Amino acid sequence: MTFKDKWRFVQQNMKKNKVRVFMTILAAAMGSCFLIVLASVGFGLHDSLIKDELESRAVTKIDIYGTSDEDQLGFTTKNISELKQIENVDAVRQIQSLDETNFHLDGYTNEMPSAIAVDFENEKQAGIELGSGRLPEKKNEIVVSSDFAKFLGKDGVEEKDKFAEDGTIKSEHLYKEEVLNKEIELEVSTFPEDGSEPRTATEKVQIVGIEAAPANEYIYTNSVKTTLELKRTLDEALHVTDSYTEQGDPLFDQVEVYASNAESVETILKSLDEKGYLAYSNLEELKNINILFNVAKAGLIIVGTIAVLIASIGIYNTMTMAVTERAPDIGIMKAIGANPKTIKQIFLMESTFIGLAGALIGTAVAYLISFLVNAGVPMILEQIFEEEIPATLQLSSIPFLLAAISITICLVVTILSGSRPAKQATNVDVLRALRREI
Amino acid sequence: MITIKQVSHHYTMGKKAKETIVPVLHGIDLHVGKGEIVSLIGKSGSGKSTLLHIIGGFIQPTSGEVAINGTMITGWDEGRLADFRLEHIGYIFQNFQLIPSMTAAQNIELPLILNGTPKQKRKQKVEDILRQVELEAFPEHYPSELSGGQQQRVAIARALILDPPLILADEPTGSLDSDTEADLLSLIRKLNKQAGITFLIITHDQEVAAIADRQLEIRDGQMLKVKGVMPV
Ligand SMILES: Nc1ncnc2c1ncn2[C@@H]1O[C@H](COP(=O)(O)OP(=O)(O)O)[C@@H](O)[C@H]1O
Ligand SMILES: [Mg+2]
């Protein structure tokens, strides 16, 4: 018997019991939809809270916070080149912090952003992302963070009038124009430890680039990156020598090593340890959180599977009734010479169809619900708490993997629940069926 | 065509603890040659249907062997028997056994579907056989819309559609009036003469017995020869 003919039989059988088949498909659809929607919350939260982080440079970043030489107060250029030579190291960021800085622009001031001096060639290798503009090429060029302009407040406004409730500068006191390509005055101050008068130096600098906004929209960053040459000029003006060795080589306050991929982080950590560096990577921590999320997702899938199992009782019932009802026909078919295997396949096809149809409909509806939840819940939350929900926060996400898992579970469960009735069908006793005893 | 050696059969009834044994057949030997029409008579309850079921492979004899067309089928599993039955045996049941939800044509088509005949060929064959049993006017009728004689002819058409060499019939004229019975008998004779099909027919009808080459009777579970000659 050909597949097409078997399928025709299945169709005829289902046509005879349209309502029952429909209800069973509905139950299977509800089960698989419930499974997907439930688990999608785990996937959604995982995605929006962790995944970005895991895929970003954060995992390949290794912070170096000390060298083997305890007397040395920073990292020398020798240290840097040693770090660069370690296998699988993509980039090394070398950072000198600036003292207290203020930036003045046309009567507006950004007070004390975190200012650092870096080597922009290294920044490029470490994956700095610009939202607009370019990286500095000359000494007096800088890049600022995406929120830099939000901290550029009008001079001479009283502190208590200047800030809104959430700590940001009120919009009426903000600098309105585009800051890119503006020339701005950098003012840096130092407060000597010997108690002598604070000293101040200024330089005109040009904002040539603005960094891309961070993935987490609810974090404000107010920072500035300058060139190392500018830092040296300022230090010379201020007579500050902390950032240099006695020979005049620069000393770096902070060094970050970037591994070429997450897998090589561990071996890099090991060789750092051998070379006497103190290092830290948040990969392990992230890995643990990741495992936690994966366990939670598995748990949700298992809970959702219970719904599918309940639906499978419906399929079992439907198929058992179908077999009982059709026992006389099955008897006649067997009497003519229908192989029991053929009979079994026909019934298995029917239950598989019910399961597949249910799974597909359920999956489609789950995608719709997921979409509505993602669109609707933030809106409702914003209404209730009057606070903006970041757009990156996704409550529900259905990756292809989840849909595939759900469809597989649904199919396996329905085939299992349909297999006993199908077996019953093959066991129909021909002569008893012909005598209408069953 | 059919060779039966020392076939005995008894039914076991009741639950395990209080089984009762109903003996039916005792050491039956039978040979039906190719192209023969053999009729089988016997009192009600003498075991005629039981013997036919054994030959058709619906029940396994308690002891003895059955061979059809030179193939020993005793002891086969259900699936193998089903495949064999589909190709070699046309079975005409006492009360037609048509599937009520299928039309006459669909019922007749069933064996063709089961053995995987392509659709186009199926249509042709069904049309041919409908003409042969003079039902060309009723292909779309459901069994409930057909008379007893017409239903019987649908059952015969279904038994014949795969051109089996052997037809087993259990009281095929039992529920027919004498006119339709005469039609049926002439059809059987025609098929026997033209296609060389072998028939084993259970009946208590003298008319049917009359067209047979041989007439056998089961009595007390034994086979008796009533009329005709045993072919060699
Ligand atoms: N499935 C069965 N279980 C128990 N006894 C049966 C069964 N089928 C038939 N019998 C018994 O076997 C005997 C022979 O029956 P059967 O072959 O139908 O006779 P016939 O067809 O000659 O009238 C009867 O006594 C009947 O009661
Ligand atoms: Mg009988």
Distance A432 CA to ligand 1 centre (A): 12
Question: Which pLDDT does position B127 carry in this prediction?
Answer: 94
Is A338 in contact with B86 (Cβ distance < 8 A)?
yes
Give the distance (Å) from ligand 1 centre to CA of residue B22: 8
| A140 — pLDDT class (breaks 50, 70, 90) | very high
Label residue B160 left, alpha or beta by phi (over 0 means left) and psi (-120 to 50 means alpha). Answer: alpha
Higher local confidence (pLDDT), A391 or A175: A175
Q: What is the structure's pLDDT at A391?
A: 66
- Please report the pLDDT score of residue A394 as a whole number: 80
Kindly give the pairing relationship between strand B89-92 and strand B198-202. unpaired
Q: Are residues B87 and A334, on separate chains, in Cβ contact within 8 Å?
A: no
pLDDT band at residue A379 under the 50/70/90 scheme: confident
Work out the average pLDDT over B136-158. Answer: 91
Q: For chain B, how are helix, strand and coil distributed in percent, rounded to 5?
A: 35, 30, 35
On the question of pLDDT at A85 being above 70, the answer is yes
| Residue A216 pLDDT greater than 70, yes or no | no
Cα–Cα distance for residue pair A48/A391, rounded to 1 Å: 10
State the pLDDT at residue A261: 82
Strand ranges across the sheet with B71-72 = B20-32, B2-13, B63-68, B71-72
> Rounded mean pLDDT of B123-147?
91
Tell me the shortest Cα–Cα distance from A345 to chain B, in angstroms.
Answer: 13
Burial class, A417, CB count within 10 angstroms (exposed 0-12 / middle 13-18 / buried 19+): buried
Reported residue count of chain A is 438
For residue B49, the chain A residue with the least C-alpha distance is: A431
B91 interfacial to chain A (CB closer than 8 Å):
yes
Closest CB from A2, A332, A430 relative to B116: A2
Which ligand gives the minimal distance to the CA of B40?
1
A429 touches chain B (CB under 8 A): no
Contact B24 CB / ligand 1 (< 6 Å): yes
Q: Which of A228, A286, A279, A252 is nearest to A86 (CA)?
A: A279
Residue B82 to residue A1, Cβ atoms within 8 A: no
Indicate whether residue B221 lines ligand 1 (CB < 6 A): no
Q: How far apart are CA A234 and CA A240, in angstroms?
A: 8
Residue A432 CA, closest ligand 1 atom number? 1
Ligand closest to Cα of B13 equals: 1
CA distances from B86 to A344, B162, B165, B171 (A): 17, 8, 11, 21
pLDDT at B202: 92
How far apart (Å, rounded) are the C-alpha atoms in residues A258 and A61?
Answer: 5
- Of the given ranges (B74-78, B162-166, B202-206, B211-215), which has the lowest mean pLDDT? B202-206
Q: Could you tell me which chain A residue has the CA closest to the CA of B90?
A: A336
Amino acid at B18: K
- Nearest chain A Cα distance for residue B52, angstroms: 12
A-chain residue closest to B114, CA distance: A1
**Neighbouring residues of B102: CB distance < 8 A, sequence distance ≥ 6:** B110, B142, B143
Do B113 and A329 lie within an 8 Å CB cutoff? Answer: no
- Residue B230 pLDDT exceeds 60: no
**CA–CA gap between residue B102 and residue A222 (Å, rounded):** 80
- Ligand 1 closest atom vs CA B52: 17
Q: If you take atom 16 of ligand 1, which residue's CA is the nearest one?
A: B47
The set of residues, in sequence order, having a beta carbon less than 8 Å from that of B166 and lying 6+ positions away, is B1, B2, B68, B69, B88, B89, B90, B197, B198, B199, B200
SS3 B221: coil
Give residue B232's pLDDT. 36
Residue to test with chain B: of A12, A326, A332, most B Cβ within 10 A: A332
The answer to whether B83 contacts chain A (CB < 8 Å) is: yes
Closest CA to A367 of A24, A39, A27, A25: A39
Of B91, B110, B115, the CB nearest to A333: B110
CA distance B146 to B103: 10
For residue B46, which atom of ligand 1 is closest to its CA? 22
- For the residues B105-124, what does the mean pLDDT come to? 93
In whole numbers, what is the pLDDT of chain B averaged over residues? 88
How far is it, in rounded angstroms, from Cα A229 to Cα A64? Answer: 23
Task: Describe the strand order of the beta sheet including B214-219 as a list of residue ranges.
Answer: B89-92, B166-170, B198-202, B37-41, B214-219, B222-227
Contact assignment for B93 to A341 by CB distance below 8 Å? no
pLDDT at A305: 92
Rounded to 5 degrees, φ, ψ at B145 are: -95, 5
Q: Ligand 2: distance of its center to the CA of B49 in Å?
A: 4
Q: DSSP H helical segments within A265-339, as ranges? A: 265-274, 283-336
CB A27 within 8 A of CB A314: yes
pLDDT at residue number A241: 85
Task: Please check the confidence at residue B229 and state whether its pLDDT lies above 70.
Answer: no
Confidence at residue A57, expressed as pLDDT on a 0 to 100 scale: 66
Do A323 and A331 form a contact (C-beta atoms < 8 A)?
A: no
Q: Cβ A339–B79 below 8 Å, yes or no?
A: yes
Per residue in A306-332, pLDDT (tens digit) is: 999 998 998 899 899 999 989 999 999
User: Which string of b and e fits A317-336 if b means at least 16 CB within 10 Å?
Assistant: ebbbebbeebbbbbbbbbbb
pLDDT in tens, A8-61: 989 988 998 899 999 999 999 999 999 999 999 999 888 877 766 665 667 788
C-alpha of residue A412 to centroid of ligand 1, in Å: 44
Closest Cα of chain B to A15: distance in Å?
12
Biggest distance spanned by C-alpha atoms of chain B: 56
Residue A420, C-beta contacts closer than 8 angstroms, at least 6 positions apart: A316, A320
Interface of A with B in 16-45 (CB under 8 A): 16
pLDDT of residue A371: 92
Mean pLDDT across chain A, nearest whole number? 89
CB contacts, 8 Å: B78 with chain A: 340
Task: Specify the higher pLDDT residue, A236 or B232.
Answer: A236
The per-residue DSSP string of A48-99 comes to IIIIHHHHSGGGTEEEEEE-S-TT--SB-HHHHHHHHTSTTEEEEEEEEE--
Position A166 scores a pLDDT of 77
Q: Mean pLDDT lowest for which of A52-56, A396-400, B44-48? A: A52-56
- pLDDT, position A206: 95
Q: Residue A97 above 80 pLDDT?
A: yes
Q: Could you give the CA distance from residue A261 to residue A236 in angstroms, rounded to a whole number?
A: 39
A431: nearest CA in chain B?
Answer: B58
Closest CA to A316 of A292, A350, A357: A350
Q: A130-133 and A89-97 as β-strands: parallel, antiparallel, unpaired?
A: unpaired
pLDDT in tens, A176-191: 899 999 999 999 998 8
Paired strand residues for A36? none
Q: Are strands B166-170 and B198-202 parallel, antiparallel or unpaired?
A: parallel
Per-residue pLDDT, averaged over B74-103, amounts to 91
Judge contact between A343 and A334, C-beta under 8 A. yes
Q: Cα separation of A224 and B13, whole Å?
A: 97
The whole-angstrom distance between B104's CA and the closest CA on chain A is: 14
Side chain identity, residue B107: N
HSE-up of residue A111 (Cα within 13 Å, Cβ side): 9
A42 and A401 in contact (C-beta within 8 Å)?
Answer: no
- Angstrom distance (rounded) from CA A395 to CA A378: 9
Q: Write down the ipTM of this complex.
A: 0.92
User: Could you write out the DSSP letters of every residue in B152-178?
Assistant: HHHHHHHHHTT--SEEEEESTTTT--H
Among A362-366, A423-427, B82-86, B224-228, where is mean pLDDT lowest? B224-228
Compute the count of residue pairs across chains A and B with CB atoms less than 8 Å apart.
58
B45 lines ligand 1 (CB under 6 A): yes
Most confident of A218-222, B175-179, B209-213: B209-213
| CA of residue B50 to ligand 1 center, whole Å | 6
B231: pLDDT confidence band, cut at 50, 70 and 90?
very low
In whole angstroms, give the CA distance from residue A27 to residue A417. 14
The ligand 1 atom at the shortest distance from the C-alpha of residue B218 is 22
pLDDT in tens, A247-277: 888 999 989 999 888 788 889 999 999 998 9
Q: Which positions ≥6 away from B71 have C-beta within 8 Å?
A: B84, B88
- The distance from CA A136 to its chain's CA centroid, rounded to whole angstroms, is 31
Which listed ligand is nearest to B41 at the C-alpha?
A: 1
By C-alpha distance, which of A233, A211, A207, A220 is closest to A98? A233
Q: In 3-state terms, what secondary structure has residue B27?
A: strand
Distance CA B192, CA B197 (A): 5
Tell how strand A141-144 and strand A199-211 pair up.
parallel
The SS3 assignment for A320 reads helix
Give the Å distance between the CA of B20 and the centre of ligand 1.
Answer: 14
> Which tokens hold the place of B232?
């060699």
Percentage with pLDDT > 90 across chain A: 53
Is there a contact between B111 and A336 if contact means CB atoms under 8 Å apart?
yes
Number of H helices, E strands in chain B: 7, 10
Of A2, A336, A339, the CB nearest to B110: A336
Q: B44 alpha carbon to ligand 1 midpoint, in Å? A: 9
Q: How far, in Å, is the centroid of ligand 1 from the Cα of B55? A: 15
How large is the average pLDDT for residues A157-184? 87
Mean pLDDT computed over A90-111: 92
CB of B231 closer than 6 A to ligand 1?
Answer: no
- Is the CB of B192 within 6 Å of ligand 1? no
Show residues of chain A in contact with B97, CB under 8 Å. 332, 335, 434
Q: Are the CB atoms for A291 and A77 separated by under 8 Å?
A: no
Domains in chain B with CATH codes: 2-224 (3.40.50.300)
Kindly give the pairing relationship between strand A199-211 and strand A130-133. antiparallel
